[in-house]
């Protein structure tokens, strides 16, 4: 793993997003991205395995920070609360000040089914990593997976709202609203299914 | 769209699963699948766009049935309950009697990241279709998406349990347990995040 270089990564991502907008994801080459960013192909491939990965550069940093927050959490907290606090802290630290570029990145991904599948795969891997981190705190495997999955559902609901042009609230606040909305939804329907 | 032919589809899927087990997904060709199934390539391509899609043949039928159940549901039911009833009914109708082959299919998919991304994409598309069907009943868009997402989370938790070799309960019952577990998880953690 190369050392994380925020300057180069941010420049490559900004250049890539501009080009994907101008000419589409499929027709953009790595050579064009590095030329626009004023960097070399070597630098590009130090950070990203391929053109698709330039859109997912933040994923591994996000995951590392979230797992670190979970490992450091108060042992007495219930698992879902541990994950919600971790997501809130990482939203403040890594996402809130990058709102425009993160929303732009998401719009590019949402417009391309292949990229959306990769995004969903990254989210599933993050869910599994969160569940593993919860199990290391001593929890049951099924409860850990469930807490990780519910938290990631709240994250996705909050993220959709946060990336809308007319939404101004912080991701942390939207996360809290999303969890509350999940609870309201579930409370309205938790009855036995008819046979 | 060709007419749905359960005989040909089931034979192609069984043949494909056998070959994916014996020699791996990557090394299996469409020619080998149709030979094993005793059918022609033309029949294969009447039903599936490519080799990956042979694993996802049930998806469109599942989606059609689920959407049909939602459209026919009692107008007074809360949205999540509408979706849970639809998932339970379709589990009984299309999945329960195919437990071994569905579990086998899922094991093949889980072993291949590219297939898993496709599976996640299909689940996301189903979530969107369910949300759209709920909106047609007159609901709010955010509430519809939330109900669809919570139901699909319960479906995934239940499905993971249902495909375990040591699990004998019906998917319908596991769905109910999963929703109850979501509620327990959320109730333990729905407090404001610390600033």
Which residues of chain A lie closer than 8 angstroms to B128, CB-CB? Answer: none
First to last CA, chain B: 54
Determine the residue among B160, B189, B192, B195 to mutate to test chain A binding: the one whose Cβ has the most chain A Cβ atoms within 10 Å.
B189
CB contact under 8 A, B149 and A156: yes
More confident residue, B13 or B6: B13
Model pLDDT for residues A168-179, shown as the tens digit of each residue: 999 999 999 999
- Predicted confidence at residue B1, as pLDDT, reads 43
Which residues of chain A lie closer than 8 angstroms to B80, CB-CB? Answer: 185-186, 188-189
Cβ-based neighbours of A64, under 8 Å, separated by 6 or more: none
- Predicted confidence at residue A139, as pLDDT, reads 80
Q: With beta carbons less than 8 A apart as the criterion, state whether A48 and A76 touch.
A: no
Which residues of chain A lie closer than 8 angstroms to B149, CB-CB? Answer: 153, 156-157
Reference B46, options B102, B101, B105, B5; nearest CA is B5
Top mean pLDDT of A35-44, B110-119, B137-146 is at A35-44
Determine the residue among A90, A190, A194 to mutate to test chain B binding: the one whose Cβ has the most chain B Cβ atoms within 10 Å.
A190
* pLDDT band (50, 70, 90) for residue B97: very high
Q: With beta carbons less than 8 A apart as the criterion, state whether B36 and B22 touch.
A: no
The CATH architecture assigned to A57-187 reads Orthogonal Bundle (1.10)
ipTM: 0.84
Model pLDDT for residues A75-88, shown as the tens digit of each residue: 889 999 999 999 99
Counting Cα atoms < 13 Å in the Cβ hemisphere of A53 gives 9
- Transcribe A72-85 into DSSP letters: TS-TTS-HHHHHHH
- Predicted confidence at residue A194, as pLDDT, reads 56
* Chain A positions touching chain B (beta carbons under 8 Å): 78-81, 84-85, 88, 113, 116-118, 120-121, 123-124, 142-143, 145-147, 149-150, 153, 156-157, 160, 172, 175-176, 179-183, 185-194
Tell me the fold of B1-48. Arc Repressor Mutant, subunit A (1.10.10)
Residue B173 has pLDDT above 90, yes or no: yes
- Predicted confidence at residue B191, as pLDDT, reads 60
Q: Supply the mean pLDDT for chain B.
A: 90
- Predicted confidence at residue B172, as pLDDT, reads 96
Task: Kindly state the percentage of chain A with pLDDT values over 90.
Answer: 66
Model pLDDT for residues B26-60, shown as the tens digit of each residue: 899 999 999 999 999 999 999 898 888 888 878 88
- Indicate the residue of A146, A172, A185 with minimum beta-carbon distance to B147: A185
Model pLDDT for residues B141-164, shown as the tens digit of each residue: 999 999 999 999 999 999 999 999
- Minimal Cα distance from A189: which residue of B? B81
* pLDDT band (50, 70, 90) for residue B123: very high
> Which ranges of chain B would DSSP assign to H, the alpha helix?
6-23, 30-37, 41-47, 57-71, 79-90, 99-110, 113-136, 141-162, 171-187
- Predicted confidence at residue A2, as pLDDT, reads 46
Q: Residue A4 corresponds to which tokens in the numbers above?
A: 């994380």
Domain boundaries, chain A: 1-48, 57-187
Counting Cα atoms < 13 Å in the Cβ hemisphere of B41 gives 6
- Predicted confidence at residue A119, as pLDDT, reads 93
Rounded distance between C-alpha atoms, residue B125 and residue A76, angstroms? 38
- Predicted confidence at residue A7, as pLDDT, reads 85
Model pLDDT for residues B99-116, shown as the tens digit of each residue: 988 998 999 998 888 889
- Indicate the residue of B149, B179, B183 with minimum beta-carbon distance to A153: B149
* pLDDT band (50, 70, 90) for residue A65: very high
CB contact under 8 A, B153 and A153: yes
Which residues of chain A lie closer than 8 angstroms to B123, CB-CB? Answer: 120
Q: With beta carbons less than 8 A apart as the criterion, state whether B149 and A156 touch.
A: yes
Rounded distance between C-alpha atoms, residue B54 and residue B37, angstroms? 12
Task: Compute the nearest-CA separation of A139 from chain B (Å).
Answer: 13
CB contact under 8 A, A146 and B186: no
Q: Residue A188 corresponds to which tokens in the numbers above?
A: 């309205």
* pLDDT band (50, 70, 90) for residue A122: very high
Q: Check if B1-48 and B56-187 are the same fold.
A: no
- Indicate the residue of A78, A149, A189 with minimum beta-carbon distance to B81: A189
CATH number, domain B56-187, options 3.40.50.2300, 3.40.50.1000, 1.10.357.10, 3.40.50.300: 1.10.357.10
């Amino acid at each position: 793993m190369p050392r994380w270089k925020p300057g180069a990564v941010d420049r490559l991502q900004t250049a890539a997003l501009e080009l994907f907008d101008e000419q589409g994801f499929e027709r953009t080459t790595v050579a064009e991205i590095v030329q626009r960013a004023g960097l070399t192909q070597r630098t590009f491939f130090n950070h990203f395995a391929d053109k698709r990965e330039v859109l997912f550069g933040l994923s591994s940093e996000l995951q590392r920070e979230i797992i670190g927050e979970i490992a450091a959490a108060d042992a007495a907290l219930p698992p879902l609360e541990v994950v919600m606090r971790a997501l809130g802290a990482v939203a403040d630290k890594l996402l809130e000040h990058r709102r425009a570029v993160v929303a732009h990145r998401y719009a590019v991904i949402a417009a391309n089914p292949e990229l959306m599948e990769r995004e969903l795969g990254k989210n599933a891997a993050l869910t599994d990593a969160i569940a593993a981190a919860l199990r290391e705190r001593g929890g049951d495997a099924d409860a850990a997976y469930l807490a990780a999955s519910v938290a990631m559902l709240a994250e996705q609901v909050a993220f959709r709202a946060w990336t809308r042009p007319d939404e101004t609230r912080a991701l942390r606040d939207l996360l809290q609203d999303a969890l509350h909305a999940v609870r309201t939804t579930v409370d309205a329907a938790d009855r036995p299914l008819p046979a």
